Structure 1
Amino acid sequence: MRISSVTMYEQSAASINRQQGEFLKISQQMASGRRVVNPSDDPQAASRAVGVDQSRAVTQQYADSRISARNSLSQTESILNSVSDAVTSAKTLLIQASSDTLSDVDRESIASELHGVYETMIGQANATDGNGRYLFGGYADNAPPFVKEANADPDAAPNVKYKGDSNAREQRIDASRKMPVTSNGEDIFMSVPSGAGYVADAPSSNEGSVTFGGPQVADVNDDNYGDNFAVSFDDSSGAMEVIVNNLDDTTNNPVVKQAYTGNGEDSQTVSFGGLDITLEGEPKSGDTIAVSKAGSDQHPPDLFKTMEEAIRVLEAPNEDPQATADFRNTVNTAMRDLDNALDNALTVRASAGARLNELDVVDGVGANRMQNYDQTLSNLVDLDYVDAISEYSLRQVGMQASQQAFVNIKGSSLFDYL
């Protein structure tokens, strides 16, 4: 069979082109460090690599989300620490103000300090994160959650009202976990812990000079323990009487009625529902004292209102027994409310700390997951340089051999043998 020169040229050129293509392919792999440069290099590995890379990108997105969540929780925890310090400072000032040796001027000075603490609390309650969103407004984070509203009484100080919502802003930190990254203002400044006790409260409208101590828990097994009640005074019978009404009883029938004896040198203890409250001073008929569970409808928690009432009585002169009684009763109630507010702030802060710890755990799991994805992706598409260098040398030799063979074939001629 005769082989034409054209055929020899075509076959030699095709061999050289094939060797050059293989050599170029291994060169590209070595330059990029990837075994699969184009999907056609290994379609199955390329397809799996796309899925792994997408999962890796989602995991990285959750990691970025956890960074944002950690920033919000860290800010919340820091502000709650400041709130706890402010509440502690407020109680210290009230303890100082409760001394009978202070004059009205001294109490006004303490009121000025307490007002500074009060303004600090409002500033902390309206704190923002790094993006300008208000931390404690829930999802209503585009406006201050706490605002001052004018009081119905033009002579009274404005009241602080909560304008946020009752939700806690949440953020997804992993495929199966959506975490609250802050707390709303109601949970911090207008709530009490579940274990909060009872608080007595005497309205400023009382006309007498009766003061109270307590309430103290005497018997938790009492049938009426847990009920809210009111102590009132009545002299319609000719002598002052103490009357106790169970506020949780719709019949509103008196459950205790006895003569009042606390207007002498000795105080009088009134008991109901496993609680004891001590009374002392000269009441007027119609005066009342409410004893209720902290956080109940009868005594809703409000840290700002507690501060406002304390400032009010500190600024008012104790010019008569009624004003003195109002001062002592209000301070007594305020200190209990501040204790509950401090416990609540510490509880919410502990919750934020627990979520920060959880973020650390989820970060560890996410890091392990990213490592697994990186390893899988490397196994699928990354280049083994030892094999690649061997293959590179082999392709180089093959290409040189093809070129030399073409040179030898091209130089062959019958005239050399004539």
Structure 2
Amino acid sequence: MRVPTFQTNRVQLDAIGTRQAQQAKLQSQIASGLRVQSPGDDPAAAAQAELARSRLAHLQQDQRATQLSTSLLGTADGALSHGVDLLQSAREAIVAAGDGSYNPVDRQALAQTLRATRDQLLQVANSGDGAGGYVFGAQGSTTPPFSGTGSPAFGPAAGEQHIGEQAGYAASVDGRAVFLDVPQGNGVFVTGAAATNTGGGWIDAGSVADATQLTGHAYSISFGGTAAAPTYTVTDTTSGTALASNQPFTAGAAIDIDGQRVRVAGTPATGDSFTIGPAGRQSIFATLDQTIALLEGSPTPAAYNEGLERVHTSLDRALDGLTLARTHVGEQMRAVQGHADGNDQESLAVTTRRSGLQDLDLAQAISELQTSQASGQAALQVYSATARKSLFDYMG
């Protein structure tokens, strides 16, 4: 015969309390959806889940950087596209200026069109990025990067701003490289006529015939002979060496000089000369200014043709530069999008891993809760039945 004692009551109460604590924990887990609510629940899983949470926070921050970079680069692409359109319009005006039927008034009208184009291009160069900065602000600027109207000066430090993980995402474009640092002439060398020339000859912008022969020297082509039988002499003015002497001259024929090919058209006079030298750098604005000055001036036909050839070639280099800059921006946007896609994939993987470490199997938890509640209820009924009996209940 079983007679309850203090010890047996204590054991039963402890068991009931344990089941109630288990039920409370299961109910809390079900409410939160988390199996690991504190490090004490599963120290190893809690530590790994915290590492996953930290990585997710880092990925979210980096994802914000990719979104900002994509937005800024998209603005830059739009600005460069507008710049290309403006330069293409200027190029068409220069081609039209070569029409022999154009009179000074027509040229003045073209000059006004080019002046408006230049002003619009300066606005493009100072485009805002929508975040308080400037698209072509290089290393950053709180004021428009291009200042002045005559010969715009570039204020910021050259280069690009980068943001994000390991500073991998571009947040600006180097305006100096795009608008100011443009190769002159054909990009390799430039040609020109001496200021003292009196004849009707002019030299084209030239081209590279054999890049392996280029020396980077300066040259001159001087003319002699007679009007009926003109000749030319080529001199390497850097080394002081005559490369060709008194060669018969044919207008428009190719003259090859150490891998460079030029043509002199018209009728140069005896004593006239032309120069060839390494190409330097010139801003897009300077090229447009030269074009405007040429159209508004009163040059000789030879000087006008030569000037148009020179600015036309320089403008082509500027167009190439803007197109290349746009391609570079497009490649950067592609790279940033690749990083963003990678971040999305990693975020999904880390989230899945974190979920596996700390999330609750809801069906299993509900089943355990129901089992615990049933056994707890049974234990309460047993305790209730035995706790009421004493030794006197069995005496009689």
Q: Contact conserved, 1:214 with 1:278, CA < 8 A, in 2?
A: no
Q: How does 1:62-77 map to 2 (within 5 A)?
A: 62-77=62-77
- Give the C-alpha shift of residue 331 in structure 1: 1.4
Q: What is residue 340 of structure 1 aligned with on the other side?
A: 317
Q: Deviations over 1:197-232 (max 9, x none)?
A: 545443695563532234244x417x7435343435
Q: Deviations over 1:28-50 (max 9, x none)?
A: 01001111112111111111111
The match for 2:262 among 276, 293, 296 is: 276
Answering whether residue 162 of structure 2 is matched by residue 170 of structure 1, we say yes
**Comparing 205-214 and 160-169, the one that deviates more:** 205-214
What is the rounded CA distance, in whole Å, between the counterparts of 2:65 and 2:184 in structure 1?
Answer: 32
Q: Contact conserved, 1:84 with 1:342, CA < 8 A, in 2?
A: yes
The letter for the 1-side match of 2:220 is V
Quick one: structure 1 residues 230 and 143, their matched pair in 2 at CA, closer, same or farther if it must change by over 3 Å? Answer: farther
The letter for the 2-side match of 1:409 is T
Q: Deviations over 1:26-83 (max 9, x none)?
A: 0001001111112111111111111111112212222221111111221122211111
Q: Give the length in aligned residue pairs.
A: 392
What is the rounded CA distance, in whole Å, between the counterparts of 1:69 and 1:81 in structure 2?
Answer: 18
The match for 2:243 among 235, 238, 255 is: 255
SS in 2 for 1:110: helix
Q: Contact conserved, 1:164 with 1:184, CA < 8 A, in 2?
A: no
The letter for the 1-side match of 2:83 is V
The letter for the 2-side match of 1:258 is N
SS in 2 for 1:41: coil
Q: Contact conserved, 2:223 with 2:269, CA < 8 A, in 1?
A: no
Q: Contact conserved, 1:270 with 1:277, CA < 8 A, in 2?
A: yes
Answering whether residue 346 of structure 2 is matched by residue 369 of structure 1, we say yes
SS in 2 for 1:202: strand
The letter for the 2-side match of 1:24 is A
The unaligned stretches of length 5 or more in structure 1 are 150-157
- Give the C-alpha shift of residue 171 in structure 1: 2.5
What is the rounded CA distance, in whole Å, between the counterparts of 1:93 and 1:195 in structure 2?
Answer: 18
Q: Contact conserved, 1:134 with 1:141, CA < 8 A, in 2?
A: yes
The match for 2:330 among 353, 370, 392 is: 353
The letter for the 2-side match of 1:184 is D
Q: Contact conserved, 1:191 with 1:344, CA < 8 A, in 2?
A: no
The unaligned stretches of length 5 or more in structure 2 are none
What is the rounded CA distance, in whole Å, between the counterparts of 2:339 and 2:258 in structure 1?
Answer: 48
The match for 1:301 among 268, 278, 282 is: 282
- Give the C-alpha shift of residue 160 in structure 1: 2.1
Q: Contact conserved, 1:233 with 1:283, CA < 8 A, in 2?
A: no
What is the rounded CA distance, in whole Å, between the counterparts of 1:306 and 1:341 in structure 2?
Answer: 9
- Give the C-alpha shift of residue 284 in structure 1: 8.3
Identical columns (%): 22
Q: How does 1:31-50 map to 2 (within 5 A)?
A: 31-50=31-50
What is the rounded CA distance, in whole Å, between the counterparts of 2:263 and 2:181 in structure 1?
Answer: 24
- Give the C-alpha shift of residue 165 in structure 1: 2.2
Quick one: structure 1 residues 283 and 53, their matched pair in 2 at CA, closer, same or farther if it must change by over 3 Å? Answer: farther
- Give the C-alpha shift of residue 102 in structure 1: 0.9
Q: Deviations over 1:129-159 (max 9, x none)?
A: 111212223113223222226xxxxxxxx21
TM-score by length of 1: 0.82
Q: What is residue 231 of structure 1 aligned with on the other side?
A: 220
- Give the C-alpha shift of residue 276 in structure 1: 2.5
Q: Deviations over 1:89-131 (max 9, x none)?
A: 1100001111111111111111111111111111111112111
Q: Contact conserved, 1:207 with 1:283, CA < 8 A, in 2?
A: yes
The match for 1:159 among 151, 154, 174 is: 151
The letter for the 1-side match of 2:176 is E
**Comparing 180-189 and 372-381, the one that deviates more:** 180-189
The match for 1:246 among 236, 239, 244 is: 236
What is the rounded CA distance, in whole Å, between the counterparts of 1:366 and 1:412 in structure 2?
Answer: 68
TM-score by length of 2: 0.87
Q: Contact conserved, 1:202 with 1:326, CA < 8 A, in 2?
A: no
SS in 1 for 2:77: helix
The match for 1:189 among 173, 179, 182 is: 179
**Comparing 407-416 and 336-345, the one that deviates more:** 407-416
The letter for the 2-side match of 1:104 is P
Q: What is residue 137 of structure 1 aligned with on the other side?
A: 137
Q: How does 1:404-415 map to 2 (within 5 A)?
A: 404-415=381-392
- Give the C-alpha shift of residue 291 in structure 1: 2.7
The match for 2:308 among 331, 335, 340 is: 331
What is the rounded CA distance, in whole Å, between the counterparts of 1:105 and 1:257 in structure 2?
Answer: 44
Quick one: structure 1 residues 260 and 206, their matched pair in 2 at CA, closer, same or farther if it must change by over 3 Å? Answer: farther
Q: What is residue 203 of structure 2 aligned with on the other side?
A: 212
Q: How does 1:122-133 map to 2 (within 5 A)?
A: 122-133=122-133
**Comparing 223-232 and 365-374, the one that deviates more:** 223-232
Q: Deviations over 1:265-298 (max 9, x none)?
A: x55654422313214245585x6543345xx3xx
Q: Contact conserved, 2:107 with 2:296, CA < 8 A, in 1?
A: yes
SS in 2 for 1:338: helix
CA RMSD, Structure 1 to Structure 2 (Å): 3.3
Q: Contact conserved, 2:185 with 2:191, CA < 8 A, in 1?
A: no
Q: Deviations over 1:340-373 (max 9, x none)?
A: 1111221221122122222232223222211211
The letter for the 1-side match of 2:170 is P
What is the rounded CA distance, in whole Å, between the counterparts of 2:28 and 2:91 in structure 1?
Answer: 74
